[in-house]
Structure 1
């Protein structure tokens, strides 16, 4: 096993250069007070350890959002699933916290509570193996959505994955996981057949629906273990053709655009399984130098052009531009600006907090109010002028047919979230961003008339309650708490959207 830099003390004073932990010089030249060298013989030959003075450390430990990011003292890349178990056992023996990394976009402020310890980076566990019978695939814990999509597509298969190519497959799935195909098949978590999971005590277990832990892992899984691989259901590709209409509107069309979406796509919760509505508000100075524009997508499966019944009502509103495209499922991320090469997939040192809320439909008056507040806050030279508002309108038929999981919000039709992007510049700016994000979400929540806010855990800011993330029903909270006390009584997994205190 190779080390990117050796250790002088747990305080990470640097002394040594890159070499093998089994190199005969280790004992003669390098201080041993940290005892990290004890980890080496316990791991496979493919495992890697990086310390802060290595060139790789800043890249491997970087987060997509720099706001209250965790601060690991070492990065370990396991080479096998068994390595993950050994790392957790080692961390427990040394009384060190640990946190798993496996992609991008996890931005909760609760992650910042990890101020030292071991980052377990699953990047090397990225295999995707299709079973011989072609009905399931085994996906490694570090595989990105793009990896899963491409491997399956090449074999004439597909499954529900996250929409953004740079997120991991499992990260979203442990929180439920929305995707383009959910109208047919349900959430990412609904595809899981079994999983290998490292528990808080370092044991590596294979679990399935016969385990009491299965319910929690499918919706609140970040609180209970590290999934090193999962067996998931896959499907034959039914339709190779997909089409999209990309329409851009000026801000004065907010009411008309979202009324059309309610009337012609959402249709009181009966949005067809083959149609998706998706939109952004963001500044595009070349189009409108004064206000954010509305970029509205209508996506349809199984066609070469979007059905006129869906697109013509929007054409009638007078868009600033309209562009039809045709292609396949593998084009969707690029069409919507979330492919692996796109700006939202880059780790640039920006803060990227989001403030999610589930909605049943677009409240037209609230859409206008929230647009005006957003536009005032992000126009011109505002430090938040690269922010955007996301509106994700997936079909939900497949989601509503499943119920045996910790994911609570199966009847919601829209996932909405302002994303406040800015360069960090002290606590005052952080507070301003948080105030803006909460205010925008509060406008939308008040318009629902519901007492409880419902928020998507994978987009959460970090201020949300356990009830807001996992459902307010008492039986849900009691069940989560019971399982937490059983499987993680010391709260080892408590950095990412923690459930109620144990």
Structure 2
């Protein structure tokens, strides 16, 4: 095999880092692994790298977007080929060391903190895009980011469904289903998959498609079954290059009317968000806009136009906003318009804890919205609050493409829901008391929305999950669905190697 690039200080750093925290049995296991680390290197490709503690490469690789219950690694492997992932898994299994794949940002679930030592497998080197000769599909590397994929396909006159935020990995959201701007036309990110290469817990690399029982599980609960090293996905000709957005700012006293209007426009009385439309809203406190409390900001995004239709904007303008901003551009501007581009705050690693508390809804309950707004206002506007930078997100996508498939089409359980809602409580960590305070606030706000929904079970988006939910909330409460997932887990990962992110059991 080719030589590899080993970024290290003393290999003893591994042992020192672990010996301070691990019991003697684990110390013995890890001592064997760091003594044999060159063995892994001899099996990796020329472009692969290994980072060890004491280097800036290691520090950058293990830095998290959310510093709440973070996974701890003693080494980072950066594969250059799909087989490098396989070799790393084999090595870790031999040495009885845990491992965890990483890529992009926004993975903040608290269950990740159960990884107290081990190897991070950083997938950023697997970022290729190969468009098939017929232009109908593309083979996509497992480590590519959403923006890089969008840009590569756009240059070829193509696009596919990706996550909305530019800094997230393409596959991370897809393993939990994956919402995106184009889902009204085509469905979820994972609905586009034709096949995927998956490195399994036993150290094998398999290619799976709809003929495999595992394919169903990977599209909604995929974090539990393996590391996707590449995927072949449907791609589409660009239908509409031009987009427009109308961003409408309201003061908090208009909150009930705003969401009652959203219901009337798109969510009740037999209506639906049109395929060419996406409607998001945010709450955040900005005293330069409104010092009295958080603003309610509605984003109405329409494709194929140079200005959002008055049919969609007039009912909101009639409420009486603080201000309105209208912009025109193309698909690649959407992240910038909604504050989730690479340059925006949600894409920065600031050292903050960034827990979210997601819930799916079918429509808004205006009374519940008003009650939650008051809780959010109290938490974000007082002089001593640690949560001044908090953001409440209400994501309303067109759902025709998602709901065109049956509920049992994949492990993603919530095709019948119309709204993805989550508070994001960004704050500087300052001990367990503040952590409990944030958890209490986030759960209280979610509970208000849950009670107002009239639903019997809590439906949550696993990619936004806080961590105190359970497998029924992440993957659907139906017992047959749960049994199917548990059976697949037993078959493909019986020892629970892939159980740090929202475990099935």
1:283, 1:422 → 2: CA distance?
Answer: 14
The structure that is helix-richer by fraction is 2
Alignment of 1:87-486 (within 5 A): 87-267=88-268, 268=270, 270-381=272-383, 382-403=385-406, 404-486=409-491
Give SS of 2:387's match. coil
1:420, 1:91 → 2: CA distance?
Answer: 35
Does the 8 Å CA contact 1:183/1:274 hold for their aligned counterparts?
yes
2:33, 2:99 → 1: CA distance?
Answer: 21
Moved over 2 A (4+): 31-34, 265-269
1:10, 1:59 → 2: CA distance?
Answer: 17
- Shift of residue 289 of structure 1? 2.2
Per-residue CA deviations over 1:6-59 (Å, capped at 9, x if unaligned) read 402642479xxxxxxxxxxxxxxxx99632111110100100011110111111
Counterpart position of 1:17:
none
1:231, 1:297 → 2: CA distance?
Answer: 32
- Shift of residue 450 of structure 1? 1.5
Does the 8 Å CA contact 2:352/2:428 hold for their aligned counterparts?
yes
1:7 aligns with 2:11: yes
Distance 1:112 1:132, change over 3 A: same
Does the 8 Å CA contact 1:12/1:73 hold for their aligned counterparts?
no
Give SS of 2:56's match. coil
1:461, 1:32 → 2: CA distance?
Answer: 33
1:193, 1:409 → 2: CA distance?
Answer: 21
Name the count of aligned residue pairs.
484
- Shift of residue 457 of structure 1? 0.4
- Shift of residue 374 of structure 1? 0.8
Deviates more, 1:57-66 or 1:486-495: 57-66
2:378, 2:254 → 1: CA distance?
Answer: 17
Distance 1:374 1:33, change over 3 A: closer
- Shift of residue 290 of structure 1? 3.2
Distance 1:452 1:320, change over 3 A: same
2:142, 2:381 → 1: CA distance?
Answer: 40
Structure 1 gap ranges (5+): 15-30
1:73, 1:323 → 2: CA distance?
Answer: 48
Deviates more, 1:264-273 or 1:318-327: 264-273
- Shift of residue 316 of structure 1? 1.0
Give SS of 1:196's match. strand
Give SS of 1:133's match. coil
Distance 1:233 1:358, change over 3 A: same
2:264, 2:499 → 1: CA distance?
Answer: 42
Distance 1:32 1:345, change over 3 A: closer
Deviates more, 1:373-382 or 1:144-153: 373-382
What is the TM-score normalised by the length of structure 1? 0.95
Structure 2 gap ranges (5+): 19-31
RMSD between aligned residues:
1.3
Counterpart position of 2:63:
62
